[in-house]
Amino acid sequence: DAGITQSPRHKVTETGTPVTLRCHQTENHRYMYWYRQDPGHGLRLIHYSYGVKDTDKGEVSDGYSVSRSKTEDFLLTLESATSSQTSVYFCAISETPDTQYFGPGTRLTVL
Amino acid sequence: EDQVTQSPEALRLQEGESSSLNCSYTVSGLRGLFWYRQDPGKGPEFLFTLYSAGEEKEKERLKATLTKKESFLHITAPKPEDSATYLCAVQARTGNQFYFGTGTSLTVIP
């Protein structure tokens, strides 16, 4: 998985609770991305980062925030989780805004 | 609007039976088209990047081709270990976003 780890790998939480997912890379790539994958939908971009403290929104960013204080870490926060945010979340990295390499994923269930 | 459509949704092949997967796209200026393989419970694994019409890339039993409106992933003499979901994505020249299709689920029967 190209030196990418995600934690936790599985999480079950309740509606209204905050949740933070972590992506860690050892490749020193500049770009990092958060996607969600749901049945019937392709992978959809939530947020991405093009450098430390530089982030931008993707097509499904509502209800999510991100932070990147170090090159190697990109955090995704659900401020108040809802059942519609039950999904599999993937982190990806790339050296240029081109080919992306994906992590193993985090399965999140919001009850 | 940038869009990617993959067909068929699912494909069952006998071992050794060659076939092709299709990825049709509309994008306002193509920067790149990408193919990934995804096994159940895992993240997508990068296969190919194509940049311009007429370009082809090969890896083992897989060959990807690109035209101005679509890409094909040709699978020659597939084996059971080729069973997976194959994802296509495009990136426009402006912006950093990828747009993914919903994938083709390939099953190769021994």
Structure letter (DSSP) for residue B103: -
pLDDT digits (tens, 9 = 90+) for B3-55: 899 999 999 999 999 999 999 999 888 999 999 999 999 999 999 999 999 99
Confidence at A80, pLDDT banded by 50, 70, 90: very high
Question: Residue A64 is encoded by which pair of tokens?
Answer: 């999510």
Backbone angles phi, psi at B81, to 5 degrees: -70, -10
Confidence at A98, pLDDT banded by 50, 70, 90: confident
By C-alpha distance, which of B58, B75, B82 is closest to B22? B75
Contact call for residues A66 and A34 (beta carbons, < 8 A) = yes
CB contact under 8 A, A105 and B46: no
Confidence at A97, pLDDT banded by 50, 70, 90: confident
Q: Is A86 exposed, middle or buried (0-12, 13-18, 19+ CB in 10 A)?
A: middle
Mean residue pLDDT of chain A comes to 94
Q: What does each C-alpha distance from B23 to A109, B19, B79, B102 come to in angstroms?
A: 31, 14, 22, 10
In Å, how far is A44's CA from the nearest CA of chain B? 7
Residue A2: its pLDDT value, please?
62
CB contact under 8 A, A43 and B98: yes
Q: What does each C-alpha distance from A74 to A71, A90, A95, B63 come to in angstroms?
A: 8, 12, 15, 34
- Look-up: residue for tokens 């990408």? B34
CB contact under 8 A, A43 and B87: yes
Residue B5: its pLDDT value, please?
95
By C-alpha distance, which of A31, A8, A3 is closest to A19? A8
Residue B29: its pLDDT value, please?
87
Residue A96: its pLDDT value, please?
84
> Left if phi > 0, otherwise alpha if psi is -120 to 50, otherwise beta: which for B24?
beta
Choose among A42, A97, A105: nearest Cβ to B100.
A42
CB contact under 8 A, B32 and A50: no
Is B25 part of the contact surface with chain A (CB cutoff 8 Å)? no
Q: Element (H or E) spanning A31, and its range?
A: strand A31-37
Residue A108: its pLDDT value, please?
98
Is B101 part of the contact surface with chain A (CB cutoff 8 Å)? yes
Please give the distance of CA A81 from its chain centroid, rounded to a whole number. 14
pLDDT digits (tens, 9 = 90+) for B65-97: 999 999 999 999 999 999 999 999 999 888 777
Contact call for residues A64 and A47 (beta carbons, < 8 A) = yes
